[in-house]
DNA sequence: CCTAAATGTTAGGTATACCTATCTTTCATA
DNA sequence: TATGAAAGATAGGTATACCTAACATTTAGG
């Protein structure tokens, strides 16, 4: 029926899906109560969300039972998680934001990023990580210094020429 | 009444505020019809939004008249615009995303970014722009090369040592 | 095994943010 | 200056995403 192309889920529904994944990983099962605590809503909201997700073929949920992802749900959840992780990594590793704030912001921003921009961000992180420097590349350390002191680091090697 | 501290506006209301600013700048006045066209909603939605914003003291709107920002509305709008511009600049200048896509993504992401993260992003752009190199710093050109070719640029100056 | 607390569901209500249909006002111009 | 088209407002409807209150089921201790 509605399983033709890749479903477009609302931010909220994506959050529920993410919560289920996290709980399965951490507790083995995803219960309504735990989902509600995780995303700070009351249990009736979770019940409603689960029937929504079930209607979309992403979740299986028997009355009074656990929430389980279908294959389709898992596939979607994996995409969502990747987006979250990439954004989170960018915030912590590039912008030097504390993990707690980064996690919060990633949670909100992950719903707003387009596949194209996600791709570019992924490439950017790849590029930074592939630096031949051990740990952070030189310029990124320079950014840390700039944030701390408000001044650019002394230029050991002038960054001028090169195509 | 509710004008005590800085108002927390919904993403949608922020969009209306932005639209008013843009129209004032481009056309001199902000009409309901133009707002509706700009953010792709019907005129009754704009009417509703304007009374909402008026109730919050951000906009003055006489029946059948133009929408005007109050001082408070202008202050808020300026903040929102800055957030938008910063995000947009990051997407275009750092991630090399085409202006059109960048604008769309910035529109969605700007509502999700926290003040803290916004601050860091601002600093990051500052840092990049303050590079002694003419134009983009060397490492950023390297990223462009990496996106195009999938390979790291030949390291003219080995990026290894340095604190 | 049975009951009380925890958990889950259902029903019904609120707020946001849209929409269409209909009515009112404004304004350009014939 | 009268009028019809454009613009704006209002009324009423839909969908999402919450909530509280009340009811049902499960489960863990006594």
Supply angle C-alpha A91, A97, A100, rounded to 5.
95
Per-residue confidence (pLDDT) for residue B160, from 0 to 100: 42
Q: Is residue A117 part of a domain?
A: yes
Per-residue confidence (pLDDT) for residue B132, from 0 to 100: 87
Per-residue confidence (pLDDT) for residue B6, from 0 to 100: 77
Tell me the average pLDDT across A53-61.
97
Q: B139 and B112: one domain?
A: yes
Tell me the average pLDDT across A71-81.
97
Residue B67's H or E segment, with its range, is strand B67-69
DSSP per residue over A50-88, as a string? Answer: HHHHHHTTSEEE-TTS-EEE-HHHHHHHHHHHHHHHHHH
* Protein-to-nucleotide distance from the CA of B31 to the C1' of D3, whole angstroms: 24
What does the alpha-carbon distance between residue B20 and residue B14 come to, in Å, rounded to a whole number? 10
> A17 near A70, Cβ under 8 Å?
no
What proportion of chain A, given as a percentage, has pLDDT over 70? 91
Answer whether residue B163 shows pLDDT above 80: no
Per-residue confidence (pLDDT) for residue A133, from 0 to 100: 85
Residue that wins the pLDDT comparison between B1 and B19? B19
Percent helix / strand / coil, chain B, rounded to 5: 60, 5, 35
Asked whether residue B48's C-beta has any atom of DNA/RNA strand C within 7 A, the reply is yes
> B69 near B77, Cβ under 8 Å?
yes
Grouping H, G, I as helix, E, B as strand and the rest as coil, residue A49 is: helix
Q: Which nucleotides of C are covered by protein (CB under 7 A)?
A: 6-12, 16-21, 25-26
Q: What CATH code is carried by the domain that includes residue B65?
A: 1.10.10.10
Per-residue confidence (pLDDT) for residue B155, from 0 to 100: 66
Per-residue confidence (pLDDT) for residue B1, from 0 to 100: 40
Sign of the CA dihedral with A113 first, then A145, A139, and B123 last: positive
Residue that wins the pLDDT comparison between A21 and A159? A21
Q: A19 and A70: one domain?
A: yes
Q: A40 and A65: one domain?
A: yes
Q: Which of A46, A76, A106 is the last residue of a domain?
A: A76
Q: A130 and A92: one domain?
A: yes
Q: What CATH code is carried by the domain that includes residue A84?
A: 1.10.60
B54-110 pLDDT, tens digit each = 999 999 999 999 999 999 999 999 999 999 999 999 999 999 999 999 999 999 999
Q: Which residues does chain B have within 8 Å of residue A123's beta carbon, measured at their own beta carbons? A: 143, 146-147
What does the alpha-carbon distance between residue B23 and residue B39 come to, in Å, rounded to a whole number? 11
Determine the structural domain holding residue A96 and report its residue range: 80-149
* Protein-to-nucleotide distance from the CA of B113 to the C1' of C23, whole angstroms: 42
Chain B residue with Cα closest to A104: B114
């Amino acid at each position: 029926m509605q399983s033709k192309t890749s479903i477009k889920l609302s931010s909220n529904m994506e959050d529920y899906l993410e919560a289920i994944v996290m709980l399965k990983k951490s507790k083995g099962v995803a219960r309504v109560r735990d989902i509600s605590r995780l995303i700070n809503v009351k249990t009736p909201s979770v019940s409603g969300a689960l029937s929504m997700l079930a209607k979309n073929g992403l979740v299986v949920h028997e009355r009074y039972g656990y929430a389980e992802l279908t294959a389709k749900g898992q596939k979607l959840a994996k995409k969502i998680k990747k987006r979250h992780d990439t954004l989170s990594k960018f915030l912590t590793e590039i912008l030097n934001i504390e993990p707690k704030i980064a996690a919060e912001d990633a949670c909100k921003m992950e719903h707003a990023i387009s596949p194209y921009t996600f791709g570019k961000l992924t490439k950017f992180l790849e590029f930074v990580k592939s630096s031949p420097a051990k740990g952070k590349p030189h310029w990124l350390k320079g950014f840390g210094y700039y944030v701390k002191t408000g001044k650019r680091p002394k230029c050991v090697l002038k960054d001028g020429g090169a195509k």
